[in-house]
Amino acid sequence: MAASAAEATPAPEAGGRNHGLWIFLIWLPTAVLADVLLYFVYGPHMPPGTMSDSAASQQFDIKVMSVLAAPVMIFVLVYAIYSFTVWRHREGDEEDGPALYGHARIQATWITATAVIVLFLAGFGSYELAWPGFAGAGAGEGPSPVWKPAHGTPIQVQVIGQQWRFTYRYPQFGGFESPDLYLPVGVPVQFNVTSLDVIHDFWAYQLGVKADANPGVNNVAYTTPKNVGAFTVRCDELCGLWHGAMTNQGQVVSVAAFQAWAQKTETQLASITALLPPYATVYDPTVVPNINKAMAKAGIAGANGYYYPPNDPVQP
Amino acid sequence: MAIETQPERAQGSGGGSPARGDGARPWWRRPAIHTAVLGAIVGYVLGHLLGNFLTGATGAANQYPNVALSDSEDWPIVLGYLLAVVGWFAGLGVFNDVFRQMLGKPANGNGNGHEASGLARYFRYSLDHKVVGIQYLVGMIIYFCTAGLFAMAIRTELLSPVNHVFTSQVYVEIVGEHGTMMMMLMTSVIVGPFGNYLVPIMVGSKRVAFPRIEALSFWITPMAFLILLSGLLLGGFPFGWTGYAPLSIQSTVGADAYAMAFGLMGISMILAGFNIIVTVICYRAPGMRWSRLPMFVWAMFTTSFLFVLAAPVLVAGMYMLLMDRTAQTAFFEDTLGGSSYLYQNVFWFFGHPEVYILALPGFGIVSEIIPVFCRKPLFAYRVAGAGMIGVGILSFFVWQHHLFDSGINPDMRPLYMLTTELISIPTGFIYLVALGTFWKAKIRFTVPMLFAIGMYFNFLIGGVSGVFLSDVPADTTEHGSFFVMSHFHYTIMGGLIFALMGGIYYWLPKMTGIKLNSRLGKWHFWLMFIGFNSTFLPLFAVGMAGQPRRVFEYATNLTGLNDWVSISSYVLGFSILLFVINFVWSTVIVRERETGNPWRSRGLEWQIASPPPPGNFDQVPVVLSGPYDYGVKDAQPVADLHPPVGVVTAALAPYSSAGAEA
């Protein structure tokens, strides 16, 4: 919008200087410089990084939007600062300004330019969301996702939110439930996010995955980790007293290490898995206290189905 | 057009003879705030006892074990609040005239008829829109400062990620109180004081359409405020201002205070909105065409439509929440046929228009201030009006962008992305208007102008960050983080509250005939502007770095940024304190008179004395030209305040096709 608005400024008065041209000349190099810095210098370090394809898609979107937003903001600022220096009221000048009620060409240009930018952004965002390479950009897509990874069988991980802890079930490994989150690198992951009590939100920051954990709802999100390393999981929806402490670390490891870990844990936890309700996409929260009792009978404490009664917070 | 040429007789300060009857009573027997408090206390006790009786006698709450997390303690609290509200109204005398007229007696202005002047009328159920405006102004400043103190407490807790000032219980209570108080009460922060006070004057009317409804809309707000605060005594509510359902049903009785207060405030919004809509449509003076309506009136008009269309949805949501908590219905209970998505949809169907309820009045104020201090007509008046209407309409079609990651309607996200981004077109109009008005202007940097410019600066950042949030992939990182928090503080605190401050400095001489100290005002502006940006700009980075909202513990590598923000927030808090000091100092102690038109404004409200006389105008004025004709040689006066006899009567004659457009 900026360029067009400057170009459409009214012709200068005789003898006056061409304010529109001045504003344009200040704006153009500033905007170009800002865009270059944003895209090439700061761009590769923009959050949330590039640890997975969905994180990369978010980083790319943020980068593109920054590059579009900066010139617009700089135009408004340059114009405003220019006005405040050039057109400020001088002492003793009691005349009013010119009676300028509008300018058809400028108004039309502004409206067209903003509309073009906005429609481009909407199209761009939709394309990014639907493009198979990004597979829904890591956002929760509900029980029947429309945008899935193009190829590869995803590893399924069920994320179970409860006050105030996340646990993970691995249905392809006998459905064991663990407080640890391990993922293989380079393989698509399908998170099935659900909750046992209130609404939580599974946010794996570096992986660029965010999906609400709703009770009774299976919310699916996809990602493909690209690098080995640790990532942070936080609850991103206020869920009660210890919402701020509902966090843990996940690990992206090599495929072999993941297989080894999963098979070892499956055997280790077999006796506990037998006590759990069979793997399902959602669980009836009323059975949770019963699980808790079963756990206590088996002498097991910890995160595996442990249930904090409301109003009785246990410091994690 | 239905124009009353005389103020309503019952309108106390509208002239006319003092009402009979109640005037003879001693002051403590006349309905006022003290009788209202008494009524509220009696009502609460009665309601509480009734609730205890109901739950004890019938055990209704125990018959549905599936909703086991709700408990019977809710009954006495909810019924107590309900009857407290009724008692509060009864004590205020809200029902007096209603019953008098039902019994065939004439209305007597709720015993207020004799209160033409004096401080006491501000503590009564006054039917004078100027009194209601001042009541709102003082009330809103009190609510804003209370909620601001909670914000200071939040920032104090966030000074350190590991050392805690508060327990997690107290912290979530504070977060909930701050958010809810700001979001529910600040909806009326401009419509209340300036809308009620100025709209009738700006359209050339002697009165508002529904003085009783207007007064009621104000007197609901102290009750909503007190009920919300009383939630702290009941253990608070741990779910912020959004109150997402399974959590808000699970919570203890503090949640009843939340639902009750928010629902009440919804009713107040509906009432305030109706009054302003009808006043603008039906009470414009002859010659006040739609195309001559000041931009501020357009803003109030569109905001009022959002009030009456969006707030009922909120009231319904809060009602369902209260029913789930007390009567054990299952609107939001997944296992019993309800849905937690229903609450989110209902809440945001109100909540997103509400965001524009919190933006449009600010646009209105700055559009009013800028032409005056640029000494130029408002650039592209019709574009500005179209912008406000466009924002108002589009605001009803975007609410699901709050649910982008929730898993509902995932394939419809591109649609909501589109509608959300479309809103930036009409919002951009506001900037076109401002930049066009600056062109070759004579800009005077008075305190109101500084605040208006500050509003444009802040809203630019707020608006552009909003476009980032509308993009689904980018939103996946930003949703629910401090980025969002910073974004809406930029639009609401940076937009609405800056505009409010500009409006106070601009219109207080009009409303009270007293000037605010402008040197202190400039200190206030610069401290607030720098403190505000220094507080909220780093929070975008904090959010992008992965800090979720409403947490009391965060990653230790973010300690530096959080400390910077906390210290800046104290500067921001101090600037508000400076404002309160300036306000009290100027209006109570110094009282420097300013009765004329200090800004040389062409607004109709500035053509009459300050403060305006009872009934605003001696006669209904005839409006001759638009409010922004600065720099026009031989411009007509804005209005003929003393039109020749017969002009108004002729203008009011029944419309005939041959008649000119009035």
Average pLDDT over residues B544-552: 91
- The alpha-carbon gap from A68 to the nearest alpha carbon of chain B, in Å, equals 10
Shared-domain flag, residues A165 and A116 = no
A177 and A109 belong to one structural domain: no
In whole angstroms, give the CA distance from residue B303 to residue A172: 54
Q: How many C-beta atoms lie closer than 10 Å to residue B430's C-beta?
A: 27
Phi and psi, residue B125, nearest 5°: -80, 80
Q: DSSP letters along A239-303, please?
A: -STTGGG-EEEEEEE-HHHHHHHHHHHHHHTHHHHHHSPPP-SS--GGGHHHHHHHHHHTT--SS
Residue ending a domain, among A97, A131, A165, is: A131
Quick check: B213 and B268 in contact, CB under 8 A? no
The helix (run of H) or strand (run of E) holding residue B38 is helix B33-58
pLDDT at residue B225, rounded to an integer: 96
Mean pLDDT across B274-287 = 94
What is the predicted pLDDT for the residue at A295?
57
User: Looking at the DSSP assignment, which residues form a beta bridge with residue B452?
Assistant: none
The beta-carbon neighbor of B473 closest among A90, A122, A137 is A137
Whether A162 and A202 share a structural domain: yes
Q: Please state the rounded mean pLDDT for residues A21-34.
A: 95
Average pLDDT, chain A: 85
B169 lies within 8 A of chain A by CB: yes
Long-range CB contacts for residues B503-508, cutoff 8 Å, separation at least 24:
B503/B190, B503/B194, B503/B365, B503/B369, B503/B448, B504/B137, B504/B583, B505/B446, B505/B447, B505/B448, B505/B451, B506/B365, B506/B368, B506/B369, B506/B372, B506/B448, B506/B599, B507/B194, B507/B197, B507/B198, B507/B605, B508/B587
Instruction: Name the pairing type of β-strands A229-235 and A219-223.
Output: unpaired
Mean pLDDT of B477-490: 94
Q: Are residues A109 and A196 in the same domain?
A: no
Q: What is the pLDDT of residue B67?
A: 40
The confidence score (pLDDT) of residue B71 equals 54
Nearest to A93 among B442, B464, B480 (CB): B442
Q: What pLDDT score does B58 carry?
A: 55
Show which of residues 619-658 on chain B sit within 8 Å of chain A, judged by CB atoms.
629-632
**Do A111 and B445 count as a contact with CB atoms less than 8 A apart?**
no
Q: Tell whether B168 is within 8 A of chain A (Cβ).
A: yes
Residue A66 has pLDDT above 70, yes or no: yes
Q: Which of A131, A166, A184 is the last residue of a domain?
A: A131
| Predicted local confidence at residue A303, as pLDDT | 39
Which runs of consecutive H residues, i.e. helices, occur in B358-412? 360-374, 381-394
Give yes or no for a contact between B148 and B211, defined as CB atoms under 8 angstroms apart. Answer: no
CB-CB neighbors (< 8 A) of A132 in chain B: none
Average pLDDT, chain B: 88
Contacts of A296 (CB under 8 A, 6+ apart): none
Contact status, residue B484 vs residue B549, Cβ threshold 8 Å: yes
Is residue A118 located within the same domain as residue A210? no
Restricting to B residues 122-151, those with a Cβ less than 8 Å away from any Cβ of A are none
Smallest CA-to-CA distance from B70 within B425, B321, B414 is with: B321
Contact A128 B472 (CB under 8 A): yes
Helix (H, G, I), strand (E, B) or coil at A170: strand
User: Which of A203, A218, A232, A237 is best to mutate for the B interface (most B CBs within 10 A)?
Assistant: A237
User: Which one has a higher pLDDT value, B527 or A289?
Assistant: B527
With CB atoms and an 8 Å threshold, state whether B375 touches A203.
no
Model pLDDT, residue B24: 59
**Which residue does chain A place closest to B551, by CA atoms?**
A244
Query: Among B335, B408, B471, whose Cβ lies nearest the Cβ of A285?
Result: B335
A161 lies in the same domain as A266: yes
How far apart are the CA of A35 and the nearest CA of chain B, in angstroms? Answer: 15
pLDDT of residue A245: 86
Q: Give me the residue from A107, A121, A215 closest to B467, CB to CB.
A: A121
Chain B residue whose CA is closest to A202: B405
Tell me, yes or no, whether A262 lies in a domain.
yes
Query: Which range among A66-75, A103-112, A158-167, B305-314 shows the weakest confidence by mean pLDDT?
Result: A158-167
Cα separation of B216 and B95, whole Å? 11
* Through-space distance between the first and last CA atoms of chain A, rounded to whole angstroms: 52
Query: How far is Cα B383 from Cα B367, in angstroms, rounded to an integer?
Result: 12
CB distance A84–B460 less than 8 Å? no
pLDDT at A290: 58
Residues 6+ apart with CB under 8 A from A222: A54, A135, A136, A138, A141, A145, A147, A148, A149, A154, A188, A189, A190, A191
Nearest Cα residue in chain A from B429 = A111
- Beta A181-184 vs A247-253: how paired, if at all? parallel
Peptide bond into B222 cis (omega under 30): no
Does B246 sit behind a cis peptide bond, omega within 30 degrees of 0 on the bond before it?
Answer: no
Token pair for residue B523?
């200190």
CA dihedral of A131, A136, A137, A143, whole degrees rounded to 10 = -170
pLDDT reported for residue B328: 78
The Cα B474–Cα B547 span in angstroms is: 15
Q: How far apart are CA B576 and CA B583, in angstroms?
A: 10
Q: In terms of domains, do A163 and A286 share one?
A: yes
Residue A98 lies in a domain: no
Let me know if residue A307 belongs to a domain.
Answer: no
Question: A124: nearest CA in chain B?
Answer: B471
Domain-located, residue A186: yes
At B632 the pLDDT is 87
Extract the tokens encoding B473. 């992939």
CA distance A94 to chain B (A): 9
Closest-CA residue in chain A for B467? A65
Residue at A93 is within a domain: no
Question: How, if at all, do strands A155-162 and A189-195 pair?
Answer: parallel
Q: Which distant-in-sequence residues (6+ apart) come within 8 Å of A227 by Cβ?
A: A50, A51, A185, A252
Tell me if A313 is assigned to some domain. Answer: no
Chain B residues within an 8 Å CB radius of A244? 168, 171, 550-554
Give the per-residue pLDDT at B112.
52
Instruction: Compute the distance between CA of residue B492 and CA of residue B388 in angstroms, rounded to an integer.
Output: 16
Q: How far apart are CA B379 and CA B384, in angstroms?
A: 8
Please work out, in degrees rounded to the nearest 5, the angle formed at the alpha carbon of residue A185 by the alpha carbons of A183 and A191. Answer: 40
CB atoms within 10 A of CB A45: 9
Write out the residue range of the structural domain in which residue A166 sits: 155-297
Nearest residue on chain B to A60, judged by CA atoms?
Answer: B474
Nearest CB neighbour to B335, from listed A134, A237, A284 = A284
Q: Residue B640 — very low, low, confident or very high, per pLDDT cuts 50/70/90?
A: confident
For residue B150, give how far its alpha carbon lies from the nearest alpha carbon of chain A (Å): 17
Residue B9 pLDDT > 60: no
Return the sign of the alpha-carbon dihedral for residues A79, A80, A81, A82: positive
Question: Measured between alpha carbons, how far is B491 from A254 in angstroms, rounded to an integer?
Answer: 45
pLDDT band (50, 70, 90) for residue B110: low
Q: Collect all residues of chain A within an 8 Å Cβ-Cβ radius of residue B418.
A: 122, 126
A94 lies in a domain?
no
Yes or no, beta carbons of A93 and B629 under 8 Å apart: no
Q: 3-state SS of B570-634?
A: HHHHHHHHHHHHHHHHHHHHHCCECCCCCCCCCCHHHHCCCCCCCCCCCCCCEECCCCCCCCCCC
Size of interface A-B (CB pairs under 8 A): 315
Interface of B with A in 382-441 (CB under 8 A): 382-383, 403-411, 413-414, 417-418, 421-422, 424-425, 428-429, 431-432, 435-436, 438-441
Dump pLDDT digits (tens) for B185-206: 999 999 999 999 999 999 999 9
Q: Is the pLDDT of residue A307 over 60?
A: no
Tally of structural domains, chain A: 2
* pLDDT tens digits, one per residue of A251-287: 999 999 999 999 999 998 888 888 888 899 988 766 6
Identify the three-state secondary structure at position B368. helix
Instruction: Please name every residue paired with B535 in a beta bridge, in sequence order, or none if there are none.
Output: none
Q: Which of B220, B243, B240, B255 is nearest to B84 (CA)?
A: B220
Q: Residue B536: helix, strand or coil by DSSP?
A: helix
Which of A106-120, A280-294, B433-447 has the least mean pLDDT? A280-294
The residue written with tokens 């109570």 in the block is: B588
Sequence-distant (6+) residues with CB within 8 A of B322 are B78, B256, B259, B260, B263
Helices B33-58, B74-92: inter-axial angle, 10-degree rounding: 150
Q: Cβ B240–A238 below 8 Å, yes or no?
A: yes
Of B52, B53, B47, the residue nearest B87 (C-alpha): B47
Give pLDDT, residue B4.
53
Residue A271: per-residue pLDDT: 83
End-to-end CA distance of chain B: 9
B193 φψ region: left (φ > 0), alpha (ψ -120 to 50), beta (else): alpha
Looking at the structure, do residues A242 and A172 belong to the same domain, yes or no? yes
Query: In Å, how far are B44, B72, B286 from B57, measured between CA atoms?
Result: 20, 12, 63
Q: For chain B, count helices (H), then strands (E).
A: 22, 2
- The answer to whether residues A126 and A217 belong to one domain is no
Q: Are residues A171 and A291 in the same domain?
A: yes
Per-residue pLDDT tens for B205-241? 999 999 999 999 999 999 999 999 999 999 889 999 9
Q: For position A202, which CATH number holds?
A: 2.60.40.420
The CB density around residue B316, as the number of other CB atoms within 10 Å, is 16
Tokens of A255: 């495929």
Task: Answer with the residue of higher pLDDT: B40 or A303.
Answer: B40
Buried b (16+ CB within 10 A) or exposed e, B482-515: bbbbbbbbbbbbbbbbbbbbbbbbbbbbbbbbbb
Nearest CA-CA partner of B325 in B228, B254, B236: B254
Q: Residues for chain B: how many in total?
A: 662
Choose the weakest-confidence range: A297-311, B125-139, B175-189, B498-512: A297-311
pLDDT exceeds 80 at position A149: yes
Contacts of the segment B635-639: beta carbons below 8 A, 24+ positions apart: B637/B607, B638/B602, B638/B603, B638/B604, B638/B607, B639/B204, B639/B285, B639/B287, B639/B604, B639/B607
A74 and A178 in a single domain? The answer is: no
Model confidence at A30: pLDDT above 60: yes
**Nearest residue of A to residue B443 by CA position?**
A88
Angle at B543 between CA B539 and CA B545, to 5 degrees: 115
If you average pLDDT over residues B387-394, what whole number do you get? Answer: 95
Residue A150 lies in a domain: no
Q: Do A111 and A62 share a domain, yes or no? A: yes
| Distance between CA atoms of residues B211 and B219, nearest Å | 12
Q: Which residues pair with A203 in a beta bridge?
A: A210, A234
Backbone angles phi, psi at B593, to 5 degrees: -70, 145
> What 3-state DSSP class applies to B639?
strand
Residue A232 phi/psi, 5° resolution? -95, 140
Residue of B nearest to A75 (CA): B435
- What was the pLDDT predicted at B65? 45
Find all residues with CB under 8 Å of A42, minimum gap 6, and list them: none
Between CA B361 and CA B202 the distance in angstroms is 15
Backbone torsions φ then ψ of B639, nearest 5 degrees: -150, 155
pLDDT at A285: 66
